[in-house]
Structure 1
């Protein structure tokens, strides 16, 4: 992502409703996983999620993070994460095998997503699980995607097919951020001309604290619904997949 936007990202990633609600969903999914599981967070940024796992009782020695950004990994080291490395997510060269691989809003940044998924699959142990979140629907493409240096957005079926091509078993596949899909779609449609003029800003800003808190609670409620059924559309989509052979 662009340098000026990366600074904004690091400034807000701890408390912004989007990142916080997604971390909460993943933490809930992983709360019953063995605490000695070896975990890799791809595109780990400042390592906040890995620190959350440590607080949940996971063994810090088994928590690994990689990111393309020198600044992000410097933040990880400052946050007490020893196993954090600057690496290209299309070519992670760690001499480890992992029980859990997580990639939240990373795959869309990579030109060769097929190569990346093969690499990530190779890093998984047999029986290991992969959790992949990506932006959904090309119709939502906006200046936000431009400053984030995205190559694409995905449908649920597209993401599933790419994981199935790596012989992974799909355990769950859904959209996420369902409730905000319509307002986001309307907003991005109205402001689509800004992208052509290369003006405007990314969506990432905390803004009003009351609004941030309200949106956080809304998506936390949505996270609870995901325990019961999958959502038909959303701003993001995700898959949980298992390596069976």
Structure 2
């Protein structure tokens, strides 16, 4: 059900007009905006991040390998999902992959930055409902079979509030798929540039999911094989050197392909049932 964020009524029509209090969200660049004050500037990310990401994602091993893992998990645990929401959909790169994995699903994508939604609209071609909103205030109740947030929660101070709102927006029997950066000892200038509030401790996200009322289904690390290289790079990092935020995603072709092959091996291990204890990322699948 659609939810009015002003009066909490569910008398909301297809154009987001509330029949109880009369509230309708403003539109910016054609997108319904539920947090317009945060649509162009906030403390979650740099305003130009989506413009930069849109030029990098197809060429980076990290985004390609992560998408394949996301597709594997979606097909395995939510093959019959009818309604899907991706929080922090950014440029629509992952949203498109979800649509390929779950072709029967009606997918909605939300993003706090309207410039990200502009890229997503171009990439998705009108196949997905796109909304500008704050993940701490989701305008739905008991609506979705699956809600996803991939590398989103670390940008939000109130991550437990987001998890609680996700649970409230799930239909009975629904579930979530989440990924976050892991291990505080890997903190670097990339995290600072990305406006991360934290890198998660091992087990931290699982504890917060359980506290929000979810039951864990899968809990595994990812980017385990590259962890030594990540640690070494962080240890050698010079704070006085010029910083290029795109460097990690603009590697020589042979290196990029080698890293992708390593992550594909991890993905196959996860598909076979393995749960990797350490890695640069943490993935969780959980259900009501």
Task: Please give the TM-score of this superposition, normalised by the length of structure 1.
Answer: 0.90
8 Å contact from structure 2 (residues 74, 102) kept in 1 = no
Calculate the aligned-residue CA RMSD, in Å.
1.9
Give the alignment of 1:206-245 within 5 angstroms: 206-226=250-270, 227-243=272-288
Of stretches 115-124 and 199-208 in structure 1, the one that deviates more from structure 2 is 199-208
Are 1:166 and 2:212 an aligned pair? yes
2:97 matched to which residue of 1? Answer: 52
Contact map agreement 1:37 1:58 (CA 8 A) in 2: no
Q: Could you list the per-position Cα deviations for residues 114-166 of structure 1 after superposition, in whole angstroms to 9, with x for gaps in the alignment?
A: 11111111111121111110000111110000111000010231111100101
Extract unaligned runs of 5+ from structure 2: 1-44
Distance in structure 2 (CA, Å) of the matches to 1:214 and 1:189: 22
Query: Relative to total residues, which structure has the larger helix share, 1 or 2?
Result: 1
Residue by residue, what CA displacement relative to the aligned partner does 1:70-119 show, whole Å, maximum 9, x if unpaired? 11111122231440111112212146611111111000000111111111
Q: Matched residue of 1:152: which SS?
A: coil
Query: Which protein shows a greater Rg?
Result: 2
Q: Structure 2 vs 1, CA of residues 55 and 232 (structure 1 numbering), >3 Å: closer, same or farther? A: closer
Q: Is the 8 A contact 1:155 1:237 kept in 2?
A: no
Runs of 5+ consecutive residues of structure 1 not aligned to the other structure: none
Q: Deviations over 1:164-210 (max 9, x none)?
A: 1011101111111000111101111221x41xx59523254232122
Written as runs of structure 1 = structure 2, the 5 A alignment for 1:14-163 is 14-32=58-76, 33-35=78-80, 37-56=82-101, 58-59=103-104, 62-78=106-122, 79-80=124-125, 81-94=127-140, 97-163=143-209
Query: In 2 relative to 1, CA 96–84 (structure 1 residues): closer, same or farther, beyond 3 Å?
Result: farther
SS in 2 for 1:71: helix
- Residues in 2 aligned to 1:122 and 1:87: alpha-carbon distance in whole angstroms: 16
SS of residue in 1 equivalent to 2:249: coil
Aligned residues: 239
- C-alpha distance in 1, partners of 2:183/2:97? 30
Instruction: Answer with 23-32 or 142-151: which moved more.
Output: 23-32
CA distance in 2, matches of 1:75, 1:21: 21
Q: Which residue of 2 aligns with 1:180?
A: 226
Q: Which has the higher contact order (CA 8 A, sep 6+)?
A: 1
